[in-house]
Amino acid sequence: MKSELKKMLEYLEIGDLVLENGTLIRNVRIAYNVYGNIDNAEKIIWICHALTANSDAETWWPEMIGKDEIFNTDKHAIICANVLGSCYGTTFECEEEKPLITVRDMVSAHQKLADSLKISSIDFLLGGSLGGMQCLEWSIINPDFIKNLFVIATNCKHSSWGIAFNEAQRMALELGEKGLDAARAIAMLSYRNYKTYEYSQVDDINAADDFSAASYQRYQGEKLRKRFTPSAYYSLSKSMDSNNVGRNRGSLEKALSKITAKTLVIGIDSDILFPVNEQQYIAKNMENAVYEQIKSKYGHDGFLLETDKIKTLLKKHFDFL
Amino acid sequence: MKSELKKMLEYLEIGDLVLENGTLIRNVRIAYNVYGNIDNAEKIIWICHALTANSDAETWWPEMIGKDEIFNTDKHAIICANVLGSCYGTTFECEEEKPLITVRDMVSAHQKLADSLKISSIDFLLGGSLGGMQCLEWSIINPDFIKNLFVIATNCKHSSWGIAFNEAQRMALELGEKGLDAARAIAMLSYRNYKTYEYSQVDDINAADDFSAASYQRYQGEKLRKRFTPSAYYSLSKSMDSNNVGRNRGSLEKALSKITAKTLVIGIDSDILFPVNEQQYIAKNMENAVYEQIKSKYGHDGFLLETDKIKTLLKKHFDFL
């Protein structure tokens, strides 16, 4: 396969896949982006995207990927693939209307993609939130395949609080197409926090109605509805709930101890959805991991927004960047 | 009027009322409960209820009200009235389908009820959450009328975060009757917190679906739908948003300084919806207030559940209890 510098969305058929719960999905097609050239890249960098993102990582993480960026398209090949269940190009057929796709299933599909792309190992695997969950699973399923690892604002088992947030969103999704607006508005509460809303949504002292925080919620809901689908949102939120590296592996500790990659785990001090104790737990139970914490006013969304702080820590811990 | 020991729901017609925004509501009928005897009570105690509660305070605060309880029905007359906009007996007519009822409007109605009951002053006014908002407003509107005051888990201006939570709930409510389930599920996330869900919703280590936190959300939603109405929920959430003692009074500080009652303000350390800085702010800006903080694992719901801790603090600060 002759690789060129390509930034366009590509598709690859990986055939059928048996999901973790035994369900067969057929004709799986993975949508993915490659920035740079796989064949002569110094390093293969694989980015796992989060809930409503897509494989065009440069669009949602522009400060991280580019000619002069930390993920340098002149030197590295940077790959990002759209996850199973998303609505950004990855597709499959299934007899069940709502098959449960776990984080492990997402990883299985991407391992097949990597094999098809003749990638023998990933030099640097990284992701935040649902992306981080995939990174951990991949590094447990195939430790030798992953040389270096970076996860941020994620966990190794989704919390009951996180599941409760997701269930409230699914309850809204079941009420019709505009349920996606409400689901997104709920999610925003967990991506930000009390203080974020307090300083960004300010009203006239004499207001009694039409508050800016209310408009913000509606705006965010509408914005997502225009670019996403309720069924994809439903599926991905179930995937997130499923996250538990300890499932059928004895314990969380045993699963995490299988990871051999040199690892950086970052927690964000203001993240209420994935509080820092979750990232501290991950690092503590891995053989070769360092924990770092960043201050942010953005809460969970800090993993997308605090790129300067993230880059500084990446350079500190990974020589090749 | 001959008063007897009565615990039954009573109704009183208070006529018409002009709301804060100028809207006229007609034939206002207030539903209320009196425990004890107003005419020969040592103290008149008035409880303001929270969002989805009703005037039968003994049912939702049983450890606080009764023959041998801190609000002693043998010695005190304890009054609780259902707020404007609720679905527990208080009614009115209005040409507008969804008039904005502010916390001040709720208080205006209850002042009329108190006047009709020939109550010349309230010895002890108290409430938590939306109830506390009413207490503060009442003490500002009519300072001489309120002798002692206790508020818990409340604020003097509803936060942008709180408004955002409420708006997400209203977005769900607009999607049909089952929107109330989703709204309640959203609200539960703010009444509890990460830790509450973590220790109360536990699953098998090998579970990939059907998590207890998800069932809990559905259960709480259904439970509320069976006893409440979407329109009342909508109205009351808008009332909560409207809470701002500073509106058209210059500032929050100026408004709070008008309160003369001896006051106890309690914050709950784990309350994410009304964080303790809000109660500290209230106490700091009042002439005659003390701030106390209680530890609770229940978050905001601690104001209903931590009755032992609350009673200890009430006895410490109010001799007559």
Q: For domain B10-157+246-317, give the fold.
A: Rossmann fold (3.40.50)
pLDDT tens digits for range A137-163: 999 999 999 999 999 999 999 999 999
The helix/strand/coil state of B132 is helix
Residues facing residue A226 across a β-bridge = none
> Chain A, 292-311: which have a CB under 8 Å from a chain B CB?
none
User: Tell me: the pLDDT tens digits for B161-199?
Assistant: 999 999 999 999 999 999 999 999 999 999 999 999 999
Q: Is B301 annotated as a binding residue?
A: yes
Please tell me if the domain spanning A10-159+245-317 has the same topology as the one spanning A161-237. no
Q: Identify whether the C-beta of residue B110 lies closer than 8 Å to the C-beta of residue B139.
A: no
pLDDT in tens, A281-298: 999 999 999 999 999 999
CATH, range A161-237: 1.10.1740.110
Is pLDDT above 50 for B3? no
User: How far is the alpha carbon of A166 from chain B, nearest alpha carbon, in Å?
Assistant: 8
Of B55, B86, B108, B129, catalytic? B129
Q: Is residue B184 part of an annotated ligand binding site?
A: yes
The model's pLDDT over B19-31, given as tens digits with 9 standing for 90+, comes to 999 999 999 999 9
Residue among B205, B218, B242 minimizing CB distance to A209:
B242
DSSP for A171-205, please give it.
Answer: HHHTT-TTHHHHHHHHHHHHHS-HHHHHHHS---T
**Residue B184, exposed/middle/buried by CB under 10 A (0-12, 13-18, 19+)?**
buried
Residue A2: pLDDT over 90: no
Angstrom distances, CA of residue B301 to CA of A111, B50, B55, B298: 46, 11, 18, 6
Is the distance from CB of B54 to CB of B60 less than 8 angstroms? yes
Query: Would you report the helix, strand and coil content of chain B in percent, each value rounded to 5?
Result: 40, 20, 40
Amino acid at A135: C
Buried b (16+ CB within 10 A) or exposed e, A158-178: bbbbbbbbbbbbbbbbbbeeb
CA distance B236 to chain A (A): 13
Mean pLDDT for A96-108 is: 97
Average pLDDT, chain B: 96
Q: Is the pLDDT of residue A7 over 70?
A: no
Q: Tell me if A214 and B167 make a contact (CB, 8 A cut-off).
A: yes
Decide: A186 and B168 in contact? Cβ < 8 Å: yes
- Evaluate if residue A1 carries a pLDDT over 80: no
Tell me if A172 and B171 make a contact (CB, 8 A cut-off).
Answer: yes
CA distance B9 to B65: 16
Check residue A277 and report its DSSP letter.
Answer: H
pLDDT of the residue at B4: 43
At A3 the pLDDT is: 40
Residue A119 DSSP one-character state: -
**Separation of alpha carbons A48 and A129, rounded Å:** 9
DSSP H helices, chain B, are 57-60, 103-116, 130-141, 160-173, 179-191, 194-200, 212-225, 230-242, 252-256, 276-284, 302-305, 307-317
Q: Do B185 and A174 touch (CB under 8 A)?
A: no
Query: What's the CA gap between B66 and B180, in Å, rounded?
Result: 33
Work out the average pLDDT over B60-76.
Answer: 94
Radius of gyration of chain A (CA): 19
Nearest by CB: A161 against B175, B198, B212: B198
Residue closest to A232 by CA, chosen among A121, A66, A88, A48: A88
Tell me: pLDDT of A112 over 70: yes
Average pLDDT value for chain A: 96
Are A145 and A121 a contacting pair, CB within 8 Å?
yes
pLDDT at A49: 98
Domain ranges for chain B, please list them: 10-157+246-317, 161-237
User: Residues of A numbered 214-253 whose beta carbons fall under 8 angstroms of chain B's beta carbons: which are they?
Assistant: 214, 216-218, 221, 238, 241-242, 244, 246-248, 251
pLDDT given at position B17: 98
Q: What DSSP designation does A120 have?
A: -
Distance from CA of B167 to the nearest CA of A (A): 5
What is the 8-class DSSP label of residue B157?
Answer: B
- List A residues 39-98 in contact with B (Cβ-Cβ < 8 A): none
Q: What is the predicted pLDDT for the residue at A8?
A: 77
Distance CA B321, CA A59 (A): 63
Q: Domain A10-159+245-317 is in which class? A: alpha beta
φ, ψ for residue A78, nearest 5 deg:
-115, 125
Closest C-alpha to B215, from B225, B228, B226, B202:
B202
Residue B160 annotated in active site: no
Interface residue of A100, A163, A219 to substitute, partner B, most B CBs within 10 Å: A163
User: Do the beta carbons of residue B269 and residue B241 sit within 8 Å?
Assistant: no
A-B contacts at Cβ under 8 angstroms = 182
Residue A4 has pLDDT above 50, yes or no: no
Once rounded to an integer, what is the mean pLDDT over residues B44-69? Answer: 96
Q: What is the mean pLDDT of residues A224-241?
A: 98
And the tokens for A180?
């996606």
Contacts of B163 in chain A (CB under 8 A): 197, 201, 211, 213-214
pLDDT band at B7 (very low <50, low <70, confident <90, very high): low
Confidence band for B8, pLDDT divided at 50, 70 and 90? confident
Contact B283, B253 (CB under 8 A): no
